[in-house]
Amino acid sequence: MISQKTLTRIRNRQGNFRWGDDYLPAIFAVPGEAPKGSRVCRLNSRKLERALHLLSIPERVFTQLALFHPAVFDIHEQKLLHPQAHVHPLHGHPLAQGASLKPLAGTLAIANHIGMDHAKVVVETSSGERKWAAYPYLGDLLIYLNAPGAAPYAVNWNIKLSKYDFMEKRRSSLKSLATRRKDRQLAELRLRLEEEYYLSAGIRTVNLSLDEIDPIVVANLDQVFGAHDRPLDLNPQLLEDFSQQVHNDFICGRPLAPVAIAFGKKWGNRDQFLARIYQDIWDRNLAVDLFQYIQIDQPLEHARYDVIEHYRSFFSETAQ
């Protein structure tokens, strides 16, 4: 809901963010902040060492895909689009030291350029004066990548359930033809605003919907992600020996569950050995075909092609 209270909350969390600070999303995945009816979740990421606040199932799906990418080093969800001109999102990051980074044009200037009425809210100053203030728009996911031998860069992900949701606001609602036409214009302007905002700093925007990713990949990433950060208190050398045996069985086309059961009988903590299998998949130590359902009581298929390579256009710095 647009209000002075939410404006203040967003500004306090993100208005003065600097690299090295704990990142706080503009909206937390909690009642009272998340949009009514949203399917919120919080993902605990071992890589980022924090929980990500996500407001829909598609956001969760694409966040897990991004976290699986070895070049992704950070993600900013529910990211403030600054109304006024602002520094590049990578400004101040150690990896971007010495880089020539273009600043972001503010959304107020871009809205004026494209003929869009910018969101605004009435605020009351400390002296009791009431005035209009620009209300910030928020992006879904800003992905930061650093491939070996290349400069770091960012890609903006705009995420919906269906590709048709990009074409019209409140698409599922009953409405007149005039309202439908207006909502389509609003959706087009909103997309253009965000795209040009990031483009002003040389950042590409990618519009992604759930129908663009294989549902089997979705299920597999969710399955292995669930175990990826589970603490394992077994002897490190024992775990290394176990992983080596798992790798050998995988190469030979044998199911992986039996080795976990065997180690569990000998050393106890069978569930930790099972979790280790999924962690080895998540850490890309086992080149499993993620386009086939992962069932560790059955032989796992070897990857015909890498998931990240298959969806490389989602992560590319430039359009392909």
66 plus 185 within the same structural domain:
yes
Has residue 318 been placed in a domain? no
Q: How many residues does the chain have?
A: 320
Question: What's residue 199's pLDDT?
Answer: 98
Question: What's residue 194's pLDDT?
Answer: 98
206 plus 243 within the same structural domain:
no
At 206 the three-state DSSP class reads: strand
- 291, exposed or middle or buried, with CB in 10 Å at 0-12, 13-18, 19+? middle
Has residue 320 been placed in a domain? no
Contacts of 100 (CB under 8 A, 6+ apart): none
Among 83, 78, 74, CA closest to 34: 78
10 plus 149 within the same structural domain:
yes
Dig out the tokens for 209 from the structure: 């919907």
Has residue 75 been placed in a domain? yes
Q: Which of 213, 246, 265 is the last residue of a domain?
A: 213
Q: Which of 189, 213, 237 is the last residue of a domain?
A: 213
Q: How many domains, in total, are found in the chain?
A: 2
106 plus 222 within the same structural domain:
no
For the residues 81-104, what does the mean pLDDT come to? 96
pLDDT, one tens digit per residue, over 177-187 is: 776 777 788 88
The percent of residues in the chain predicted with pLDDT above 90, rounded, is 82
Has residue 296 been placed in a domain? yes
pTM of the model: 0.93
CATH number of the domain bearing residue 55: 3.40.1350.10
pLDDT, one tens digit per residue, over 277-316 is: 999 999 999 999 999 999 999 999 999 989 999 999 999 9
Dihedral pair phi/psi, residue 101, rounded to 5° = -110, 125
Beta-bridge mates of residue 86: 104
Residue pair 52/46 in contact by the 8 Å Cβ criterion: no
* Least confident stretch, 27-41, 47-61, 243-257, 286-300: 27-41
Is the pLDDT at 115 greater than 80? The verdict is yes
At 251 the three-state DSSP class reads: helix
Has residue 118 been placed in a domain? yes
46: containing domain: 4-213
Has residue 104 been placed in a domain? yes
Question: What's residue 191's pLDDT?
Answer: 95
Has residue 319 been placed in a domain? no
Question: What's residue 264's pLDDT?
Answer: 96
DSSP alpha helix (H) spans, the chain:
4-14, 57-68, 107-114, 177-199, 215-228, 236-251, 257-267, 270-282, 307-310, 312-315
94 plus 106 within the same structural domain:
yes
Half-sphere exposure of 161 toward its Cβ, with a 13 Å CA cutoff? Answer: 11
Dig out the tokens for 256 from the structure: 């992986």
244 plus 198 within the same structural domain:
no
Question: What's residue 269's pLDDT?
Answer: 94
For the residues 244-262, what does the mean pLDDT come to? 97
112 plus 246 within the same structural domain:
no
The percent of residues in the chain predicted with pLDDT above 70, rounded, is 95
Question: What's residue 254's pLDDT?
Answer: 97
Question: What's residue 171's pLDDT?
Answer: 59
For the residues 261-283, what does the mean pLDDT come to? 97
Is the pLDDT at 152 greater than 80? The verdict is yes
Residue pair 37/107 in contact by the 8 Å Cβ criterion: no
Among 283, 235, 278, 233, CA closest to 256: 278
Question: What's residue 209's pLDDT?
Answer: 96
187 plus 42 within the same structural domain:
yes
Mean confidence (pLDDT) of the chain? 93
76 plus 47 within the same structural domain:
yes
Has residue 87 been placed in a domain? yes
Q: Which of 156, 189, 213 is the last residue of a domain?
A: 213
157 plus 306 within the same structural domain:
no
188 plus 173 within the same structural domain:
yes
| CA separation for the pair 250, 179 (Å, rounded) | 57
Question: What's residue 15's pLDDT?
Answer: 86
At 59 the three-state DSSP class reads: helix
Question: What's residue 172's pLDDT?
Answer: 60
Beta-bridge mates of residue 160: 209
